[in-house]
Amino acid sequence: MVEWRKVLPRMALAIGLCSVLVCVGPGGSAVATSDDAAFSRAVRAILALPYQPAYVPAGLDSAFPGQNVANDYPVEDYTSGSIPGNPDHPSWPAVFKQVTFPSQDGTTLIGELALLPGHHPAVLVVHGFDTHGIESVIRWAAMLAVNGYDVLAADQRDFYWEYNAGYGYPNNLQTLGWKESQDVLAGGQFLAAQPGVTSVGVVGFSEGAQNTVLALSQDRSHIFSAGITFSGPADQDTQIYSTAQPPNCQSPNCTYPATDALIAVVVPPYGHYNDPCTVLSDAGAYYGVTPYSILTHETAMHAQTAVAVPLLNFYSADDSLVSPVNAQLMSAYEQGNPLQRTIEIQHGEHAYFYDRWWQQVAILTYFHRLLPTGHRAQVAATVNQMAGGMPLSSQIVNFQVPTRPQADSMLAPYICDTSQPPPGNQ
């Protein structure tokens, strides 16, 4: 079993298209629609919410009726709180039932599905690069369900449960985002097909945030109505290179110790893989492509230009896992689109921000305002609010947004052979 408390401190990490919401005109410029105002109002409401960087969890989490689940620090969600059997890990509420469904290529995925009586908006919850996949988002899925949403927390391929069920390695290998984004889209399709589901939103964390943006860009059937993400890599190759030792290294003198540490405990069989290039090489051989080409499919900053629904991205300047430069890269490519916004705050760490109350209410506010029939759901945090928080707007980092060519120039060379150009620019 992974001892995350020992692993984490070592990490420096790791067209012309129209929809009912927005039209993309010539040259990719967005044409305003009536939904721009709804998105703007949702963002303003979230920025006005009080945020307490010194948040201290207290009392019980009411998303788990009858379990007496204590509120906990968000960092526990992707450490001990993601490990079944650990005291920090709650059991899935009774409303959730385990399901399996196929991805686009037939890969079997495992999820936890909550369907409420009647008709409701639904949310797909997308986990990050965590050994136990959906177990790391159990608190977020439960919070959405108790607020009146149908919910699917779905694994992406070749994580813990799939591997143990025989659905993963040596088949259906992880790709660090390419195939996983197809899994996210498949999860949305599965959720949308459930009886009583009126509309579908998606929330993604960490690598799941990257894969959420990639999935939204592939959503030709208009499965999703809105997306919100936290701490997603804007370009996977550049994110991994940000962990290089020595910094700005050239092949063959590059190592990625922080990323290596993550891979060893997340990509099965555990301990078999110890570097990203071996993961990509084996995945490339399995899927019949090159490792380089896999990374060309993992650039969320470029993909977001094909996203046709509201998309709100959050980052934190003190993130020890995903470089804050990703906020600048995403911001460069959202320019001109009134339905996209990237916000970087000063203090939040990674994916599950310090103030769990704020993050819950932010997610609920977003979907309440932007999902069709979202009025049927509530906006009620299931954890304590801490006094002394100032509006989130006071926490915003104001950075110089690069132009798109400038952002492209910030992308890293190919991590496995730095003599090759950035995969993200291909």
Other CB atoms closer than 10 Å to residue 80's CB: what's the count? Answer: 18
Fill in the amino acid letter for 19.
Answer: S
Of the listed ranges 4-18, 97-111, 252-266, the least confidently predicted one is 4-18
pLDDT value at position 358? 98
- Quick one: average pLDDT of 47-66? 97
Domain ranges, ordered by start, for the chain: 4-425
Residue 17 pLDDT more than 90?
no
- Quick one: average pLDDT of 215-231? 97
Report whether 259 contacts 240 (CB < 8 A).
yes
Residue 245 pLDDT more than 70?
yes
pTM, full prediction: 0.92
C-alpha 274, offset from chain centre: 23
Higher pLDDT, 144 or 8: 144
- Give, in order, the Cα–Cα distances in Å from 228 to each of 118, 254, 357, 379: 25, 34, 16, 16
Helix (H, G, I), strand (E, B) or coil at 85: coil
pLDDT tens digits, one per residue of 406-419: 999 999 999 999 99
Q: Which of 132, 128, 125, 127 is nearest to 150 (CA)?
A: 125
Of the listed ranges 16-25, 90-99, 140-149, 399-408, the least confidently predicted one is 16-25
Strands 108-114 and 96-102: antiparallel
Q: Verify cis geometry, omega within 30 degrees of 0, for the bond prior to 246.
A: yes
Q: Which of 408, 425, 412 is nearest to 254 (CA)?
A: 412
Token pair listed for 306:
């094909």
CATH number of 4-425: 3.40.50.1820
The crossing angle, in degrees rounded to 10, of helices 356-370 and 138-146 is: 50
Cα dihedral sign, 383-388-391-396: negative
